[in-house]
Structure 1
Amino acid sequence: MQYIWLVIKGLFIGISNIIPGVSGGTMAVSLGIYDDIIHSFTHIRKEFKRSMHVLLPILIGALLGVAGFSMIITWLLDEHTFYTAFAFVGLILGGLPILSESFKESLIEDKQKITPIHVFLFVIFLALVAWMGVADVSGSGPDTISLGAGPLIALFFVGLVSAAAMVVPGISGSLLMLIMGYYYAVIYAINGFTSNLTTFNLSELIPYTILLTSYALGMLIGIILISKVIDYFFSSYPSFTYAAILGLVTASPVAVIANTNALNELTTGNAFVKMIIALVIALACYSLTFAVGRTDDVTEELPEETHA
């Protein structure tokens, strides 16, 4: 059962990485598995078996989320932007109580009280994400992409940078891809891969597979590199790290609303009714994340690493 929960949580992480302004790291925090993911990546050599028990189900879920929902999410963002954005706002905010508890526990373990440094870190990282949400930082780039040496190299570095951001809560990998001008090209490749996979069109499937493999390789390296940095801060400065993450996550709804231009929909139709419906959706999604995040720590039930 613990593996099913990890797949489900990975599914949410995968879906969240498709949305500009939504961070996969934020969703991992909201679902209560962020620390486990970071630890598994950074200790994959020493605790290979246990790490794979954590990472594989999450990876499977994330891949299912990206491959299975990229078209749906694209459609929802196009046709129901306002409600979709508020759904993700609810999903993000649902993890704040759990994150706050982790912050309090880190203070207790370190025998600390909230200091000006904690407040400074919270405010500065909150401001960073809020700025990224409202700033006009979108770059221009291709809407499609084809197989070639240039695109392969570009996708590798796009994957490297965006994956590093995906690991950091509050920093959206999709938003960075928009800034670099490759968001729509990557979505195009993912949609091309999934559509040709369902029809078994190998002649078209192979180029998309090669393109996405280059992107995935960059993502893998980016995740490993940034995970080591974050793991160091968690180990050495846990309460300060949680304070910074709290700032990142708290400001994430601003980035989601701003980067999807969700509020533009209030200019047409009955704005009051739309807002009520959106708040109900957000509350439902908040409750969902809150409930899923508070499931028993499934990683505690996984096999322990044994050494000869």
Structure 2
Amino acid sequence: MEFIKNVIRGITIGIANVVPGVSGGTIMVSLGIYDELLQAVTGFFRHKKESILKLFPYLFGMGIGIICLSFMIGYLFENFPFQTAMLFIGLIFGGVPLIWRKVSRGYPKVPELALFLGFFCLMIGMQFLGKGSEQVLAAGPGTAVKLFAVGLAAAATMVIPGVSGSMLLMALGYYTPVIDHINAFVVAVVMLDAGTAWYCLALLVPFGCGVLGGIFLVAKLMEYLLCRFERLTYWAIFGLLAASPVAILGKIPLRGTSPAVIAWGVMLFSVGAVVTGLLAGET
């Protein structure tokens, strides 16, 4: 039962990493699994068996979320943007009680409030990142190096709660090409088109290696910060989390939204909050 629960958590994290403006790291924090996953990643080379057993269901679920459900999420955001956004906001805010317990011991100090406000404003400011011109990917050593570097940077943002790796990819112009090649690889495997599958892998493997490297390096940094400055770090995370609705809704046209759509959005917000509570063991 715990394995299935962790797979579902992984699916949620995987979908979040695909959606621009939504942070997989924030979902991990909301689910109350951020610290343990960081420890599993940073301790991988010391405790390989334990780390693999811990990470496998999450990685399996993330693979399902990224590869299989990215089609569905893209359709939902295109046709039901407000309702889908509210569902993700609910998923994020369902974990607020967990975060609040990390920062509510005693009155907040000036440095803690400064970090909260600073990272809140940073998150708002990131919404003004423009969308870069789409990159054209062609297999070759130069492209492999670029994709490795892009994967490294994107993974770094994916691990930091509140910061969207997909948004960074979009700003750099790599979001659509990477998603298109993932989708093309899935279709090629289903259609038994080995040539297309290998071509897509030649582009996706360097990107994937960069992602793995970025996750490990930033996980090390976050582990250090949480170990030495836990309360300060969580105040910064809380600021990023509090700004998440602006990040998600900022990409959606809200003018002319009907009362019925708003009602559906509120209901889906509640569903998302309850789902996070259940997965985090809060309800």
Q: So what's the TM-score if we normalise by structure 1? A: 0.87
1:207 aligns with 2:194: no
For residue 113 of structure 1, report the CA deviation from its aligned partner.
4.3
Structure 1 residue identity aligned to 2:260: V
The answer for the alignment partner of 2:121 in structure 1 is 127
Q: Deviations over 1:252-296 (max 9, x none)?
A: 11101113x242xx42xx622211111111111111112211269
Matches within 5 A, 1:142-221: 142=135, 145-221=137-213
The answer for the alignment partner of 1:251 in structure 2 is 243
Structure 2 residue identity aligned to 1:179: A
* Separation of aligned partners in 2, 1:55 and 1:198: 27
For residue 274 of structure 1, the aligned residue among 242, 252, 261 is 261
* Separation of aligned partners in 1, 2:5 and 2:222: 24
For residue 117 of structure 1, the aligned residue among 111, 115, 129 is 111
For residue 103 of structure 1, report the CA deviation from its aligned partner.
2.9
* Separation of aligned partners in 2, 1:155 and 1:43: 26
The answer for the alignment partner of 1:70 in structure 2 is 70
1:140 aligns with 2:133: yes
* Separation of aligned partners in 2, 1:136 and 1:35: 29
* Separation of aligned partners in 1, 2:149 and 2:247: 24
Q: So what's the TM-score if we normalise by structure 2? A: 0.95
Gaps of 5+ in 2: none
Identity of aligned residues (%): 35
1:231 aligns with 2:239: no
CA RMSD of aligned residues (A): 1.6
Q: Deviations over 1:47-80 (max 9, x none)?
A: 2222111112111111111001111111112222
* Separation of aligned partners in 2, 1:62 and 1:237: 29
The answer for the alignment partner of 2:102 in structure 1 is 102
- Contact preservation (8 Å) 2:129, 2:171: no
- Contact preservation (8 Å) 1:67, 1:190: yes
Gaps of 5+ in 1: 297-308
- Contact preservation (8 Å) 1:91, 1:282: yes
The answer for the alignment partner of 1:57 in structure 2 is 57
For residue 45 of structure 1, report the CA deviation from its aligned partner.
2.1
1:294 aligns with 2:281: yes
Structure 1 residue identity aligned to 2:111: I
- Contact preservation (8 Å) 1:98, 1:294: no
The answer for the alignment partner of 1:11 in structure 2 is 11
Provide the secondary structure at the position in 2 that maps to 1:17.
Answer: helix
The answer for the alignment partner of 2:40 in structure 1 is 40
For residue 240 of structure 1, report the CA deviation from its aligned partner.
0.6
* Separation of aligned partners in 2, 1:199 and 1:32: 39
The answer for the alignment partner of 2:87 in structure 1 is 87
- Contact preservation (8 Å) 1:6, 1:54: no
For residue 193 of structure 1, report the CA deviation from its aligned partner.
1.0
The alignment of Structure 1 onto Structure 2 pairs a total of residues equal to 283
